[in-house]
Amino acid sequence: MRGVYTVFRKELADHFSSYRFLILFALITMVSLIMVYMAGMGLREALEGAVKPKFVFLMLFTSTGALFSLSQFVAFFGPLIGLVIGFDAINRERSTGTLSKLVSQPIYRDAIINGKFLAGVATIAIMLTSIALMISGLGILILGVVPGIDEILRVVFYLLISLFYISFWLGVAILFSVLFRSIATSALASVALWIFFSFFVTLGANVLANALVPMEKDATTVEQVIKHVRTQKALSLLSPMVLYTDSTSVIIDPMKKSTRSLMLVGPLEELSLSRFQNPLPLSQSLLVVFPYIAVLVAITLVCFGITYAVFMLQEIRAL
Amino acid sequence: MAEDKIILETQNLTKRYGQILAVDGLSLQVQAGEIFGFLGPNGAGKTTTILMLLGLTQPTGGRVRVCGFDPTREAIQVKRRVGYLPEHLGFYEDMTARENLRYVSRLNGIPEETAGPRIEEALQTVGLPDDGDRRVGEFSRGMRQRLGIAEVLIKDPQLVILDEPTLGLDPDASNRIIGLIEELSRAKGITVLFSSHHLHQVQKISDRIGIMIRGRMVAVGTIDQLAQEKLGIGKETYTLEELYLKYFQEA
């Protein structure tokens, strides 16, 4: 434990004093504040004179002020935080020769990888929390509403899911820094994987669904449409970004009751749905997206597990 | 520590990388307090041997005991007692010398109160008392090497293993390192095992030497003994260089 803590402390200090972190943090803070400001102004205008709906505060995260909403922004560019923090974690030490020094100290070898991963996660957590607090402050100023306990809890869960999502990409970056000796290669490989899973998988899911379950213009049955949508959904879930956006959109928006875009409802259900237009309690929102969250946590752990195993089994000669 | 106490012992130590036999049945004993010079051409298996002594590489066969522990099973115990200076030693360039030493002392679990004085003492010993707050990035090669030795001293080792400590140094810097090694051994009773290609320096400070060629230890003993055996001449009329080349040609 002493080893993990020592490595963790040193890595955390390194992160916070690096220019890389400062630039990233400044950039993300700036963009977030601008977006929340725009969203807040838009909301204020829209709600002028109207009765305020419930959960105005949470709308800050979901309403599209400028180009996209804040939660979309984190979904798109959050992974970049993880990648930037992790892509040279191991191979930089290898190229400067400090890794062979570390492994010859009386600490277990996994303390190095655990300490580095935990320091990365802590950095991300501190970054996310501070940005969320700044946003909340700005939101309260603009909207003049104070979030209730339910809203605060929802934001906390939103942050937790974001933390796992970004940590997954941190894990990927550290894995590549173990696998590749060149820093440039690991950076490029992790960015390539990020682009593939975030953008191409969602695009590819459409294309593949069209190929697997084609929909003709005139003679499409209901069954076909359902099958098509389901195939497309299943394929797009391969992307961590889709997992993340689906789960957070339900968490952050109490009015949203399902991650599905297409819902089959019978006449009676339709009636009950229109009569009960009330928000879901937090526990129910969590229940709706629990499988998504579970998968996000699982891929993060699996990714770290692979990194751990590869690092532990590597010949020291290669260090 | 008793003069005849064995601090490092290997029996039939073997390491195989695929088809290549890197270390072939090495049996060696190093006594506490002595300076052991480890010679051999590049790629002879010296570094591999050193890595096995530290438990950084698994031996294919044979037995190793360092400070009474098996490096494969009790690597932590061995690493606590053995200071290792790798061939290509690295520092965190953005940190000062003192911060680098502080990190190593924390990794060794040295309490903060004792770490401070120990760091100062180590810097003093290696002749860098005024450079502690400079970034290591500014250090010359010789200074880095001395800082490396300071780093090894931090953990108060019983045995120090130095892999080519004078590699790429100018004669003056290299003499300083050699002098430092000798001083440590004589003053503190630390056992030293070091590999080098600078034969006259090895001759100057080593109590015993071992010559390794293509994974086999071809000779172990005091330089005088070996010279007597191999060259059949007495002291002062030979150099280690002649002896080394003789073994090398035969192998």
Asked if residue A318 belongs to a domain, the reply is: no
**B29-65 pLDDT, tens per residue?**
999 989 999 988 888 888 889 999 998 888 999 999 9
Find which of B16, B95, B105, B107 to mutate to test the A interface (most A CBs within 10 Å of its CB).
B107
| Contacting residues of B for A12, CB less than 8 Å apart | none
Which residues touch B186 (CB under 8 Å, ≥6 apart)?
Answer: none
Report how far apart, in Å, the C-alpha atoms of A208 and of each of A177, A203, A204, A211, B125 are.
32, 9, 6, 5, 69
Q: Does the structure show a pLDDT above 70 at A317?
A: no
User: What is the C-alpha separation between A25 and A15, in angstroms, rounded?
Assistant: 11
Query: Which one of A18-22, A114-118, A250-254, B153-157 scores highest in mean pLDDT?
Result: A114-118
* Nearest in space to A82 (alpha carbons), one of A222, A190, A195: A190
**Residue written as tokens 């992160």?**
A15
pTM: 0.89
| Contacting residues of B for A106, CB less than 8 Å apart | 76-77, 79-80, 107-109, 155
Q: Is A315 on the interface with B (CB under 8 A)?
A: yes
Q: Is A13 on the interface with B (CB under 8 A)?
A: no
ipTM computed for the complex: 0.86
Residue B231: per-residue pLDDT: 72
Rounded to the nearest 10 degrees, what angle do helices A70-86 and A149-179 cross at?
A: 30
Residue B2: per-residue pLDDT: 45
Find which of B106, B144, B162 to mutate to test the A interface (most A CBs within 10 Å of its CB).
B106
Residue A34: per-residue pLDDT: 87
Comparing alpha-carbon positions, the chain A residue that sits nearest to B94 is A14
**A50-59 pLDDT, tens per residue?**
776 777 788 8
The four Cα atoms B55, B57, B58, B63 give a dihedral, to 10 degrees, of -50
Residue A145: per-residue pLDDT: 81
Range of the domain at A230: 2-313
Facing residue for A104 by CB, picked from B56, B88, B92: B56
* Nearest in space to A106 (alpha carbons), one of B117, B229, B106: B106
| Contacting residues of A for B51, CB less than 8 Å apart | 316-317
**B125-159 pLDDT, tens per residue?**
899 999 999 999 999 989 999 999 999 999 889 99
Facing residue for B86 by CB, picked from A10, A97, A107: A97
Question: Hey, is B34 helix, strand or coil?
Answer: coil
Comparing alpha-carbon positions, the chain A residue that sits nearest to B95 is A14
Q: What is the mean pLDDT of residues B103-127?
A: 92
Residue A296: per-residue pLDDT: 93
Asked if residue A293 belongs to a domain, the reply is: yes
Report how far apart, in Å, the C-alpha atoms of A261 and of each of A55, A231, A246, A264, B190 are.
22, 13, 10, 10, 73
Facing residue for A10 by CB, picked from B76, B91, B103: B103
| Contacting residues of B for A93, CB less than 8 Å apart | 90
User: What is the C-alpha separation between B114 and A239, in angstroms, rounded?
Assistant: 52
Cβ–Cβ under 8 Å, residues B108 and A105: yes
Cβ–Cβ under 8 Å, residues A273 and A265: yes
Residue A178: per-residue pLDDT: 93
Residues A218-256 as b or e (16 or more Cβ within 10 Å = b): eeeeeeeeeebbebbbebbbebbbbbbbbbbbbbbbbeb
Q: pLDDT category, A219, cuts 50, 70, 90?
A: low
* Nearest in space to A204 (alpha carbons), one of A226, A227, A237, A172: A237
| Contacting residues of A for B104, CB less than 8 Å apart | 101, 105
Q: What is the mean pLDDT of residues A230-242?
A: 87
Cβ–Cβ under 8 Å, residues B152 and B123: no
Asked if residue A319 belongs to a domain, the reply is: no
Q: Where are the alpha helices (DSSP H) in chain A?
A: 2-17, 19-46, 56-62, 70-86, 91-96, 98-103, 109-143, 149-179, 183-195, 201-212, 222-236, 240-252, 267-275, 282-313
User: What is the C-alpha separation between B142 and B170, in angstroms, rounded?
Assistant: 8
Cβ–Cβ under 8 Å, residues B12 and B5: no
More confident residue, A267 or B77: B77
Q: Does the structure show a pLDDT above 80 at A265?
A: no
**A19-36 pLDDT, tens per residue?**
999 999 999 899 888 888
Q: Does the structure show a pLDDT above 80 at B238?
A: no
Q: Does the structure show a pLDDT above 50 at A156?
A: yes
Q: Does the structure show a pLDDT above 90 at A9?
A: yes
Asked if residue A117 belongs to a domain, the reply is: yes
User: What is the C-alpha separation between B8 and B6, in angstroms, rounded?
Assistant: 6
Return the ∠ at Cα A116 (arms to B139 and A104), rounded to 5°.
Answer: 55
**B185-197 pLDDT, tens per residue?**
888 889 999 998 8
Residue B66: per-residue pLDDT: 92
Residue B246: per-residue pLDDT: 80
Residue B1: per-residue pLDDT: 42
Cβ–Cβ under 8 Å, residues B86 and B162: no
- Number of residue pairs across A and B with CB atoms under 8 Å? 62
Q: Within 13 Å of residue A116, how many CA atoms lie on the same side as its CB?
A: 27
Q: Does the structure show a pLDDT above 70 at A316?
A: no
A315/chain B closest Cα distance in angstroms: 7
Inter-chain contact A316–B56, Cβ cutoff 8 Å?
yes
Q: pLDDT category, A83, cuts 50, 70, 90?
A: very high
Adjacent-strand bridge partners of B193: B36, B161
Number of domains in chain A: 1
Q: Is A102 on the interface with B (CB under 8 A)?
A: yes
Inter-chain contact A104–B103, Cβ cutoff 8 Å?
no
With residues binned 3-state (H G I as helix, E B as strand, rest as coil), the percentages for chain B, rounded to 5, are 40, 25, 35
More confident residue, A173 or B221: A173
Q: What is the 3-state secondary structure (H, E, C) of B52-101?
A: HHCCCCCCCEEEEEECCECCCCCHHHHHHHEEEECCCCCCCCCCEHHHHH
